[in-house]
Structure formats: structure tokens, C-alpha cells
Amino acid sequence: MIISTGTASGKSLAYLTPAVASCLDGGTILYLTPTKALAADQLRGLRELRITQLRAACFDGDTPFEERTWVRQHANYVLTNPDMLHRSILPRHAQWSSFFRRLRMVVVDECHGYRGVFGSHVAQILRRLRRVCARYGSRPTFLLASATASEPGAFGMRLTGLEMDEVTVDTSPKGSTTIALWEPPLTELRGEGGAPVRRTATAEAADLLADLVLADVRTLAFVRSRRGAETVALTARAKLADVAFSLSTHHPRPSTPRHPTTASTTPLETDPTHRPDTAEPAGNTQPGPLEPAPTTHHPTEPARTVQPTPLETDPALTHHPGTAEPADTTQPGPLVSDPALSHQPGTAEPAGPATPEPSRTASGYSTTDPAVSTSEHESPATEPAPESSLTWALPDVPAQPDWTDLPNRIAAYRAGYLAEDRRLLEKALRSGTIMGLATTNALELGVDVSGLDAVLIAGWPGTRASLWQQAGRAGRDGQDALAVLIARDDPLDTYLVHHPQALFGQPVEAIVLDPDNPYVLGPHLCAAAAEIPLTDDDLPIFGTTTSTVLDDLVSQGLLRRRTAGWFWTKRERATDLADIRGGGGAPIQVVESSTGRLLGSVDEPSAHTTVHTGAVYLHQGETFLVELLDLEAGVALVSSATPDFTTFARDITDISILATQRSQPLGPGTLHFGEVEVTRQVVSYLKRRLQSGEMLGDEPLDLPPRTLRTRAVWWTLPASAVAPLAEAGIDLGGAAHAAEHASIGLLPLFATCDRWDIGGVSTELHADTGLLTVFVYDGHEGGAGFAERGYARAVDWLTATREAITSCECERGCPSCIQSPKCGNGNEPLDKRGAVRLLNTLLSSQ
């Protein structure tokens, strides 16, 4: 059974009830979650039930060895993760025999996280689990809990190999949410090839966060990186410090309607005509959120807590080795507020009346002065205004609000906090001590923040499913809420803010995985054979390609074929063959050079692009600079740093077609899906200034080429179809290149992937096809299912690609449409109008 519904719809209760009942009935439960933090939270919840017969325990990398035996022998509700199941529980199944014998139910929570290559690995681990259960005579029910997804039953079946019933109707009570789609304006700054640069999503998020907190709206801002989250928090705090400073300097009486020098630059005031469609904001007739609501209440608390320390950076809390994050860093762009530039297409008002609290200080003053904020942005660490300015203010009004405390109502949060720190944070948010929180989406896992009024999402979170999940954080006690999606400089973000129909009333994405990927299946067949020798009867469980892959494994000497079946006869652990969170190959260890601390590992293919010498490397939101990448030693040495630039690796790519598996006509051209060999060489990296996006240079790199056998979708156009375009003066190479970039940017709309999971090649004349050809391939060995999805949804995908290009208002191309941050050719040549003509031709008869 798979339950696929929204945030806070009661999924936990739906699996807990039968699970706990099974435990009381003498059965055991295996609970799987992608992260340890979530398992720990679940455990706390289970213990709060205070059911003595329920013996719940976590079994993960943190479980002390002396406790492990107890868990194996006595626990009847075991919480673990796929990694632990793969490396420890399944290989030592004999030690778990009594647990497996009584196993009634396997709960796979947050299963939408199991996508792409990682999901394919998990799919095979679950097949191994089913086989081990069968060995002990149990046939557990699989109960999957997922965020909303398209075709959840089909996904559940791919993940487990079992028929699935699906539950998708959510009847939990909810208020309505107003969603604003927000596009930052183009600025005067110029990027690559003179392309205009947009104001960054983080700069806009900081403005909005400050405004909303001033308007007494409890707000959570989701930002991609921790650095970005901290920038948002610091910038918003600096804005509030300005407000506090002005208010205290000019010591307005509580009845003063507005600070005289107010120069509000906030986008919340712009364009009241264009309003999102869902909820009608309450308080329409009142002044906007930035108009001063005459403040009449006085604080009763003397000096509220300053600096919720555990929420601030604490290096002692950071050593959580784990997987690497893609080096998609904060967006470059100016932070200069210019009212003239803020022509946002959408606007929003906080939905629902903000409940003023007795301890509230200001509600709705904005004194942000563009000149001041400029300097503040350049040094985001600017401290709040000095407290001394307050003491003498308005001595005749003793209850004068404590303005200096304003900035402290905003904090930043990141991954890796201990449970007790997270609890403190939840409490501060609930009590209103903190009104605004900027966070990486680490918060999605492990922290229970309910009771928010608004959510800001800086940059498309990758999927509609994540968007709804993040937006679902807003809305307390069934009240209405606000969610704002702020577009980044990226074709997909551009497309979405111009095409709300792509978001609203649309099913969320399908969760894509490819369990048949031979590079995934092979290692798990070895692991399965090591667990219990494989027989012919086992083959169907692992899929149709199993016998071919087994033959390969035998010929490679990894498995031995005997009459009784296939055996693992090596001394090594078979499970070491599968790097389930990486892309295959020996991973590169990322080590902090000063301390020797292991930060995590990066799979070898990604290492070339994410931890090359000189790269800015993000790990759990912390920033490091790579001193040296030593591929031979398998190590990248890094040091903690706060560079004011980001890096983008650039590669040159060749592609050859190995086999065409499917083809279909597309307009005058043809669409194909098949196997390809991609040769990529990272040749240099680009440095761009963090705040302005300004280009700081292209540094050469000396790295060997890598070959990747993977799957691709590609389209070709015959010479007869492209000749008229060439005659019309279109640069065909530049047009194909631009179409390729934009289509890579848009594929994540149809498959749950990141633009960094896929790559592309375009050429006016490809050696294998003899035609103009544009390829988009899976960036993982053996493929991950993304290109296949692109093939299946080609018309929608390429139509959306064309729309993304045409709806960007730039003239000749920019990062919001056809430029790619990872282009190996320095975004040359690109022909924006040509790309549209080319796609028109391709889609002409559709």
C-alpha cells in the first residue's frame, strides 16, 4: 500500500496504527527512513505513546555496539535506513532471524526520496529484503508513505517489485494558501557575454522576510545553501536593525504614523492589481502590511532573549560525515535595492490577520533606505544598531518598545543540529521569540515547525512535490497562509513564474527510478548471493534483465555458477560493491586538511566537477575551498573558507550512440532513446562573484577524460527542415546549443531530477546521425531513468522548453533562459531566436 498525500495529512498515524497493533500482537515492524534524524524523531514519538509492549529502537550508524545485540534480540519496532539495511542487517540476517520470522510490516517512510540512482539501489535492497524474509517464512506488508506524487502506485511497484494499492485522497482540514510567484527584476549588471543579470532570489527573500516579520507574520524562508540561508537571515536582520535604529533615533511616539524618512523599497507594495488567485487575503481594506498599523500595545517583557545561540553557527556541531551536496551554490546577483527595478509580476499580501502578541514591538514600519541597505549588503555581518541609542529615547514614555530587539527575531538554521537544539528552535518559533527563520531545506526532515503564517521559497525547489511540501509548512490551526516562490536565474524558474498553469491544477511529478540499471543490479545480485546463494527461483524477484547480468558477473569472476545456483566466493564483502548514495566507482574522500576530519565522500565522476582543485565546496551548507584534488589517492583536501565567489566546472563532451532502443517521429524530425557513450573532460572552472554575479575569470584544470555509458534521449532534424532556417540567417549550431541548454533546464519538470543529474550535447552535424542532433543524457553510469522520461514526455517537455525561452524578456539570452552555468563552451555560440525557430520546426506538426 502506498499513501501519497500532502504535509501534515496524517500519514504517520495511518501506518502507526496497524504497526503498533502488529507489535502488540507479537509481530515485528521494520521502519525505513532516508535519514537518521527522522528516525530519531519517530522514535521519540513512539516512546511518547508509553506502550510497554512496544520496544522501539533505532538501529543506525550511531547505535552503540553494546546496544545492537539488544535491538536484534528484543526490539519489535526497529527504525533504520536503507544504508544500514544494505550494509549490516541483510548481510547478517542470521543474527536477526527471530526478528525476520515475526516481521509483519515494512514501513517505507518519505519514500519520495528514493529516486534516480539512489532510488534504484533502494529498490534492489528492498528486493533483497523480501528474499531474506521469505527465507524466514515471513511475508510482510509493505506500507509506503510518500509526499504527493504522480502515479504513486506505479512508483511503489517499481520500488518494491510488489503490486500496490494507492491512497491519494487527503481529507485533512486545511485553510487556503495564497501562492505568489515572484520574479526578481533584471539589473544593470552584466554577466557572461554581456547578458543581463537578475537580482538574486536570496536578496529578494531577505527583503520579504524582513517585511513579513515587521508585519507580524511568522515566516520561514527556504534557501538552497546554508551560506544563502545565512545571507538571507543576516540581510533581513540588518534591515530590521535599520528600522530599529531609525525608530529609536527619531524616537517616534507610539502614535506616530510613520517614520519621516521612510523610503520603502519593499516589493510587497508593488502592483496590487496582479493578485494570485486562491485565497482572498483577509484585511484587504486595511493598509498594506508596510503601512504603519498604529502601535498601541507596549511590551511587558523587559529584555527578551537575544541571540538564540544554538541556532547560530557552531562548528562543534558540524562533523556529520555524510554524502556530498551538489555544488550548486548561491546565486550571484546584486543586492542593491532599487525601487525602480521592482516590477514583479506577482504580488502578495499576507493571508490571515496576524495575531498581535502582547510582547510585540513594532508592527509594520519600514524604513529601509536603499543607500543604507547597499552598504549593509556588502558586509552582511553588520551588527544591529547600538543599544545605547535607546536608553534616552522618550523618557516620558517608559513603555517605549525595545526596537533594538527587532533584528533578533530572525535566525538562520541549518542541517546537523542536535535534537535538543532543534527542539529549542521549534519552541522559539512556536512562542514567537523568533518570527522569521531562514533555512536550507534540511528542515524538511527532522524539525516540526507548525504554526507558521508564511513560507518563502528562494528558488524552485526542484519538484512540484517539494514545492507543495514546503508551502504546506504555512498555515496554523487551519488558518489561511501565504507562500511565495521566488525565481532564480534559471530557465525552469523563469518558465514557472510565467506559467502558473504548470504549477496549479497539475499532478506532481512522477518519481523516477530504474531498478533494471545493470550497474545498480549487478552489485546487489552479488550482495544477494552472499546473503543466500541465488537460485533460478530468485531470478524473477530481481527483474527481467537478471539472467543477463548474472552471466556478466560470472564472466567477470565476481560470482560462481554451480549446479545449486550462483555463489559469492570472495573474501571481500559483497556489499562494498554498491555505493548506494554515490554514482559508482571508488568515491573520493573529502578531508579537511587542517584537522584530518572526513567531511564526506563524492563519487568519482562528480568529483571532477564538484571538488576539483580550486572549487568552492558546500558540505551540509558549510563552505570550503578545495586545496587539492588527488584522484590517484582518492582524496580532496579542503579548508574552511568564506570566499566571495562561486565556482562552476566546465567540461567538453563527446557523445557516441551505442544502440538505439526506441524511435518515433517528431515533427519533421525523429526522437530516439538509447544507449550512448559520453566522454567528458573537465577543462576549467569559472569564478563568479557571489553577490553581483560578476565574472572573475576562467581557471584551467588538468583532469583526465572520463567515459560514461548511459542512456540518452536525442532528436534529429533532416537537412531539408533546417535549410530554410540557415537561409534565414540562423546560426544552427547556436540555436541547437541554446535549445539543448534550455531543455536540460526544463527536464526536471517532468522527471524528479536536478539539472545537475543530466547533461547534454548538441551539434549541427553529428557523426553518428549525420544530422543536426541534440542529446540529453543521464549523468549516471547505466542511466537513471530521466532521459527515458524525457522520451516519454518529449512533446510536453520541448514545448515547455520553447515557452521558457520565449517568456524570458532578455534580448539575446541570459541565465534565466538559454545560458547554462555548467556549459563547457563558455555559453558560445548561443542563438536565442534561432532556438525558438528550431523548436517551432521540431514541434510544427504536433
Given the rule CB under 5 A, which residues bind Zn ion?
808, 810, 814, 816-817, 823, 825
CB of 552 to Zn ion, least distance (A): 35
Rounded to the nearest 5°, which phi and psi values hold at 87?
Answer: -90, -30
Are the CB atoms for 762 and 775 separated by under 8 Å?
yes
Torsion angle, CA of 85/86/89/91, rounded to 10 degrees?
A: 160
Q: Which is nearer to Zn ion, 143 or 776 (CB)?
A: 776
Is 237 or 741 the residue whose CB approaches Zn ion more closely?
741
Strands 410-413 and 436-439, bridge-based pairing:
parallel
Question: Shortest Cβ distance from residue 715 to Zn ion (Å)?
Answer: 17
Residue-by-residue DSSP string for 262-323: -----GGGS-TT---SSPPPTTTTSPPTTSPPPP-----SSSPPP--GGGS--GGG----EE
Q: Which CB, 663 or 679, lies closer to Zn ion?
A: 679
Q: Which is nearer to Zn ion, 125 or 836 (CB)?
A: 836
Q: Which is nearer to Zn ion, 635 or 814 (CB)?
A: 814
Do 441 and 415 form a contact (C-beta atoms < 8 A)? Answer: no
Closest CB to Zn ion among residues 34, 191: 191
H or E element, residue 709: strand 706-717
CB of 832 to Zn ion, least distance (A): 7
Residue 657 contacts residue 768 (beta carbons within 8 Å): yes
Long-range contacts of 271-276 (CB under 8 A, 24+ apart): 271/343, 271/344, 271/345, 271/347, 272/347, 274/345, 274/346, 274/347, 275/347, 275/348, 275/349, 276/178, 276/179, 276/180, 276/181, 276/346, 276/348
Distance set, CA 374 to CA 261, 333, 381, 436 (Å): 17, 13, 13, 22
- Residue 750 Cβ vs Zn ion, minimum distance, rounded to whole Å: 21
Query: In angstroms, what is the minimal distance from the CB of 679 to Zn ion?
Result: 16
Is residue 423 within 8 A of residue 40, CB to CB? The reply is no
CB 559 within 8 A of CB 606: no
| Nearest to Zn ion of 800, 817 (CB atom) | 817
Tell me 87's DSSP state.
Answer: I
For residues 733 and 836, is the Cβ–Cβ distance under 8 A? no
* Nearest distance in Å: CB 810, Zn ion: 3
**Minimum CB distance to Zn ion smaller for 3 or for 823:** 823
Measured from the CB atom, the residue of 524 and 737 that comes closer to Zn ion is: 737
**What is the nearest approach in angstroms of Zn ion to the Cβ of residue 809?**
7
- State the nearest-atom distance from the C-beta of 823 to Zn ion, in Å: 3
Our CB check for Zn ion shows the closer of 311 and 823 to be 823
Q: How far is the CB of 699 from Zn ion (least distance, A)?
A: 18
d(CA 20, CA 56): 10
| Nearest distance from C-beta of residue 737 to Zn ion, angstroms | 5
Q: How far apart are CA 239 and CA 670, in angstroms?
A: 55
Least distance from C-beta 811 to Zn ion, angstroms?
Answer: 8
Please list, in sequence order, all residues whose beta carbon lies within 8 angstroms of the beta carbon of residue 755, skipping any fewer than 6 positions away.
490, 492, 744, 745, 747, 748
- Cα(38)–Cα(518) distance, integer angstroms: 31
Nearer to Zn ion, 2 or 808 (CB): 808
